[in-house]
Amino acid sequence: MPNKPNLLFICSDQQRTDTLGAYGNDWIETPALNELASRSFVFENAYVTQPVCSPARSTMMTGLYPHSAGVVRNSQPGRPFSNLFPDAKTIAEMVTDDYVCAKYGKWHLGDDLSPQHGFTEWVSTEDAHDNNIPTFIDPENKDRKSDYFDYLVGQGHEPEGDHEEHKSHTQAQRGYFPMEDTMAMFLSRNTVDFIGDRGADGKPWLMYVNMFEPHPPYNGPLNDMYDPTELPMGPLFLKKPGENTPAFNRVRAELHIAEAEAERPDDPESYWRELRARYFGNVTVLDRGIAPVLKALEESGQADNTIIVFTSDHGDSLGDRGMINKRAFYDEVARVPLIVHVPWMSDGEQRISGSIGHTDLVPTLLDLMGQDVPDHLQGASRKDVLEGVGELTDDVFMQWHGGAATVPLGNAEVERLSEIPWRCMVSGDRWKLNLSPDDTCELYDLTGDPLELVNLYDHAEYAERVRDMTDRMRDWQLRTGDELAL
């Protein structure tokens, strides 16, 4: 193990697990990530802590569950400049002072423009993020723009968005930029420069690169790369949730399928196929942005001294169960890729079975870096699993605190149902229990029913399992200060 290993943490946005070769996909072009997986630990079942952006990202930064970090919704008002609780430290505030700590790309935890929480190197990309919550931006800086904004204007892309005289390049507009002007390539070039600088000065470093792709609007420079008529759809495609499933999911499925039918009354399936094709194109855009970064590590001589992590903040239904987007505990949304490369431990592709939650990332990485692991972290180091002397047998927990935040979800009924809270547990023996005080609860056998099609919650023969898992979930709530009454 090197004395002061570096950390390169790459997070995509809204990327499904089944978009990578390491998870069985043999037709989406992701050569950089496939090559990385071929020499890394590949976790078969990694779960976010909340299937929506800001809360999930808070965990990846702090090692805390969203309710403990202070970020239980997107665009959460009430705290100046940062969603995070004032005492919620990020990993950049936990490493020794000799580390150069960088955050490039999406922050989504408050003020996206200003370096904070231990990160001193900062490349901003979201000049309009949460600009409708005034406390997030220092009034003196309300007219500031992101680094990406300035780059795009320099390339001749005039901003289209206008919110209270705040000009921005909208997500829809950014979907039409050429490859070199995508956020993936912009962040890639900046990250390559950072790696080169560290290779020159020899300082240890920690870098979080938060990419935007393949996040909606499902549009990008590789829209035509994949033929919609040839896409494999899978068994869940447009399969509506059954009657004994949560109303939140059933109502969303009805809405999203109706929207597709209104958009393409003669061939609604083509709407979904084309959306998927464009999404997969953006997965390849992401990979092309990652490739130069990995190459820069090798060429600068830092590859043998750098831990690499690749994961995502959540997945996307993409028409599975008739739904689109996030906000569900089903595996196509809550389960994400997790690839970890540790040069002095990785020997080819090594599969890690069992389940792991994102709360374990920060303590594991600190342990791998030879740093102290603070006692307040709510996950555990899994270094022993990577060393081959431990197994993933613990329960994994997820949460949903409700809330449409500042984005409309389609209609008033969907938004009402979105306010109902949930808690989820994936047991060490691969059962999933979804509990809510005001909607239909669920129990799935992930080994025998990996597609989560048969809800066993009300089956008498599984009553004892429900009781036992519920007790363990309550124990977890007590340990972490989660006060939701289930």
The pLDDT tens digits of the residues spanning 344-375 come to 998 899 999 999 999 999 999 999 999 999 99
Q: Give the N- to C-terminal CA distance of the chain in Å, as an integer.
A: 45
Q: What is the pLDDT of residue 108?
A: 84
Which of these, 210, 224, 208, 209, lies nearest to 282 by C-alpha position? 224
Give the C-alpha separation, 461 to 471, whole Å: 18
Tokens 């124990």 sit on residue: 475
In single-letter form, the type of residue at position 183 comes to M
Q: How far apart are CA 323 and CA 355, in angstroms?
A: 25
d(CA 467, CA 119): 44
| Domain 6-386, CATH number (from 3.40.50.300, 3.40.605.10, 3.80.10.10, 3.40.720.10) | 3.40.720.10
Predicted confidence at residue 346, as pLDDT, reads 83
pLDDT value for 172: 79
The model's pLDDT over 68-117, given as tens digits with 9 standing for 90+, comes to 999 888 766 555 556 788 889 999 999 999 999 999 999 888 888 889 99
**Residue 454 one-letter amino acid:** V
What's the pLDDT at 161? 74
Distance (Å) of CA 30 to CA 33, 339, 354: 6, 14, 25
- Tens of pLDDT, residue by residue over 119-160, are 999 999 987 554 444 445 556 666 778 899 999 999 999 888
pTM: 0.95
Average pLDDT per run of 10 along the chain, which is 486 residues long? 93 96 95 98 97 93 95 68 84 97 92 90 79 52 82 91 68 87 97 96 96 92 96 94 94 95 95 96 98 97 97 96 93 97 94 97 98 97 96 96 68 89 96 96 98 97 98 97 92
Give the angle subtended at the CA of 190 by the CAs of 361 and 199, to the nearest 5°. 75
pLDDT of residue 469: 98
Quickly list DSSP for 362-381: HHHHHHHTT----TT-SS--
In DSSP terms, 103 is beta-bridged to 122, 208
Can you give the pLDDT at residue 401? Answer: 87
Cβ atoms of 336 and 26 within 8 Å: the answer is no
Q: Where are the domains of the chain?
A: 6-386
pLDDT, position 407:
67
Amino acid identity of residue 36, one-letter, is: L
Closest CA to 124 of 186, 203, 175: 186
